Structure 1
Amino acid sequence: MSEVAHSALITRFYQAFQRLDAEAMAACYTDDVVFSDPAFGELRGRDAGDMWRMLTTRAKDFSLTFDNVRADERSGGAHWVATYLFSQTGNVVINDIQARFVFRDGKICEHHDQFDLWRWSRQALGFKGLLLGWTPLVRNAVRAQALKGLKAFQASR
C-alpha cells in the first residue's frame, strides 16, 4: 500500500479512538499484531484489541487529539495526546504519546507507543507517583496492575 493509504489507516485508527470505537480500532490491526507501551509492556494479537476495548469501555472524561501523521510503504508514526480521568485516583491525566507503526497487507502489524511513565505516574498517582514513579518498583507495579485489569476484563466477557 502507498504512504497515502497508510496515513489514512493511522488517521482512521485515531478517529475511531476519538469515538471510543474499539472495534474499529482493532479492525486496523492484523490478527497477530504486536503492541507495546510503558504501561502494558508487550501485547500480542487479541490482547492488544482487548486492551483498547477495556480502555474505551472504562474511559471517563476522555478526549484525544492527534497530529503529525506520517507513513511510507512499510512504517509510520503519529503524535497523540489523551486526556482522561484516571479511575483509581480520580486524577486527570494528560498523556503525550509518540506512536510508531509497521504495516503489512494494509493493516497495522506493529504498534509501539512511547511516553514518559514517570510523568504519567505523577499525574495518575499523585504524590506517590511524584516520589516513586521513576523507580522500577512503581513501573513494575503499574504494569502488573494494567495486565491484571486486562485479564479481569477478558474474563468478564
Structure 2
Amino acid sequence: MHPNAQLLTDFYAAFARRDGDAMASYYHPDAEFSDPAFPGLRGARVTSMWRMLCERGTDLELTLVDAQADDRTGHARWEARYTFSMSGNKVLNRVSSSFEFKDGKILRQTDHFPFWTWSRQAIGPAGLLLGWTPFLRNKVQAQARRSLDKYMEERGIKGA
C-alpha cells in the first residue's frame, strides 16, 4: 500500500474512533479544507473543526469505503452515520474526498456530498424544501462558522 493511502486509512480510522488529536496530526501546518458546510478553512481552523466534530459526534459511526493515493494526490469515499445535534435527526452522509499531500501530510482536502440530500436528513422539511437554495446553504455555513469560532475561542486557539 502506498504510504499516502496508509495515511488516509489511518486518518479515517482515527475519525471512526473520534480521535480529533490523531486526525489533526495527519495535516500539514499549511492545510486547507473545504466542504459544503465548512468552506475555505485553513491551518488551525481545519484541525479545530475535526476536533470539534469528534467531541460532539457522540454517536458517530464512520465507514471508510475506499482510499487510494499516490505521491501527490489521493481520493477516499466514506460514510458517516450520526445524529445532527441541531435537529436530533439521524443522518447518513456519503462523502467523496480528494486530497493533495506535502511532506507526508494532508495539505489540501476537499469533501463533496450532495447538500440537498444531507439537508433533507439533517434539517427535515425545511431542508427538503430549501436544501437546493443558496439561502439554506449560506445559513448552514454561517452557523457552522459561528460554532467553530466559539469552539476555538473557548479553547484559546488562534486561527486564520
In which range does the TM-score fall when normalised by the shorter chain? over 0.9
2:81 maps to what in 1?
A: 83
Identify the residue that residue 71 of structure 1 maps to in structure 2: 69
CA distance in 2, matches of 1:55, 1:152: 13
Give the % identical residues: 49
- Say whether the 8 Å CA contact 1:75–1:102 is kept in structure 2: yes
- Equivalent residue, structure 2, for 1:42: 40
- Give the deviation of 1:67 after TM superposition: 2.0
**Residue pair 2:79, 2:95 contacting (<8 A) in 1 also:** yes
| Offset of residue 60 of structure 1 | 2.9
Q: Per-residue deviation at 1:68?
A: 1.7
Deviation at 1:143, TM superposition (A): 0.3
Q: Taking structure 1 as the reference length, what is the TM-score of the superposition? A: 0.97
Post-superposition shift, 1:81?
A: 0.3
Normalization by structure 2: what TM-score?
0.95
Secondary structure, aligned partner of 2:58: coil
1:119 to 100, 117, 125: 117
Which of 132, 148, 151 is the matching residue for 1:153? 151
Q: CA RMSD in A?
A: 0.8
Distance 1:39 1:103 in 2: 23
Q: CA deviation at 1:156?
A: 1.1
> Hey, what does 1:55 align to over in structure 2?
53
Residue 103 of structure 1 and its aligned partner are, at CA, apart by 0.5
Give the drift of 1:75. Answer: 0.3
Superimposed CA distance per residue, residues 103-128 of structure 1 (whole angstroms, 9 cap, x where no aligned partner) = 00101100110001111100000000
Equivalent pair of 1:60/1:87 in contact (CA under 8 Å): no
Amino acid corresponding to residue 119 of structure 1 in structure 2: T
- What are structure 2's unaligned runs of at least 5 residues? 156-160
The CA distance in 2 between the partners of 1:11 and 1:84, in whole Å, is 20
Structure 2 match to 1:131: 129
- SS at 1:41 equivalent: coil
Instruction: Tell me, in whole angstroms, the C-alpha distance in 1 between the residues paired with 2:39 and 2:72.
Output: 23
Residue 73 of structure 1 aligns to a residue in which SS?
A: coil
Paired residues, number:
155
